[in-house]
Amino acid sequence: GRKLGAAEGRELGIEHGFDIGKDLGFYRGWAQEWLRAASAHPDIVPARALKKLQAIIDAVNDVPTINDENANYEARAKSIQLKGSTAARIIGSNVAKLPDFDDTVKIWVFDEIVNGKKLIDIINTEHENVKYLPGHKLPTNVVAVPDAADAVKDATHIVVVIPHQYIQNLLDSIHGRVLPNARAISLIKGIAISNHGMTTMTQIIHRTLAIPVASLSGANIANEIAEEKYCETTIGCSDPEEAIVWRSLFNTPYFQVNCVSDVIGVEFCGALKNVVAVGAGFIDGMGLGNNTKAAIIRIGFLEMRRLAMHISGARIQDATFMESCGLADVITTCYGGRNRRLAEEFVLTGKPMPQLEQDLLNGQKLQGYLTAGEVHSYIDSSGITDHFPLFTNIYSICYQGKAPRTIFDGLNVDFSRDTLTPSPML
């Protein structure tokens, strides 16, 4: 519970102090990734800073140590099951009808025990993920495997679904096992922070595996997809011919796919909408009604667009924000998503986000509050927090103990000067 001083914080790249026992608990695996990334740059990060960060991590009892691979892999597996099983359900049904694809779809699953049986055995015999997608049968051609390297062996098309803070560990485990002519698509709704700014998941995957990577994101609540309720999604793929292939793998009468060339735009929308959903959940927790919630959604949507433009300029197409990955996903996540639900409970109970994940979601990790921390790191280091008051306020409520009602502080912002290129005020 010691307060980290400003001087110590600057040494670790943090401009403000934070409470070791309270705030670092939010980061868990992210803090380990931070240490790993910092250790790779000894010319930039002093050795004493690395030692101090490691000491902080070790001091927090509920954060696994950097070498606790079993805990780390279990956290990853719990996080991906719902969306991974839903995607496998769609792809398994589609490839059975596509002559150019092998019938078998392998899905990487952490081999945990459920009701005295191995989850992998249950999936492969009962064809149901009874823990994370109960009540929805998987196609018989979907085969669960405990090893990610085995899952990608001989695969020409790889679907990546994992919480973004764990992506590098997964990629390292399959590096060298992927076919040189393989293609990948990321369903990850997250972004990564480095000393040089933000990096998208497709960039990280491409950098590690040296294969082309597309992205998929949309107004896609997994349980509703599993129930085959009509919805749309967006695939971002720079290669038109490959986009057709990806669409054939995902498109169904109830899951309609639209393809665009704006890969990075699809990713940014998918990541940043979770931050807006956290803000919407705060409003619900305070019981402030639909007018207030609509205002937060509108401001959040515009801050999403502004941040995307600031980072990438004209590379992101404005039309992408009108796709399912943009406006539609913001709406559905702010009204029906788990990030909204968690933020509402955060206000009502006062419990920290990781505890709520355990209590409400069986330990599944959500991206909203984690992405809020990463976004703040970027805008704070860039000196532009004044131009993102909503994102800044959401961060302060999640990580600095600010009252939920401070979400309205400084929201009178003029977005009229924002264009397809970086705003003049930025």
Please identify every residue annotated as catalytic: 273
CA distance 415 to 112: 49
Gap between the Cα atoms of 166 and 153, Å rounded: 21
* Long-range interactions of 3-6: CB distance < 8 A, separation 24+: 4/56
Q: Tell me which DSSP letter residue 187 carries.
A: -
Among left, alpha and beta (phi > 0; psi -120 to 50; other), residue 192 is: beta
Answer positive or negative: Cα dihedral of 389, 390, 393, 395. Answer: negative
Residue 228 CB neighbour total at 10 angstroms: 14
Question: What tokens does 168 get?
Answer: 């590098």
- The SS3 assignment for 200 reads strand
- How many Cα atoms are found within 13 Å in the side-chain-facing hemisphere of 374? 28
302 closest CA partner among 371, 407, 389, 406: 389
Count the Cβ atoms, other than its own, within 10 Å of residue 339. Answer: 27
Q: Are 329 and 269 contacting, i.e. CB atoms less than 8 angstroms apart?
A: yes
What is the DSSP annotation of 382-396?
TT-GGG-HHHHHHHH
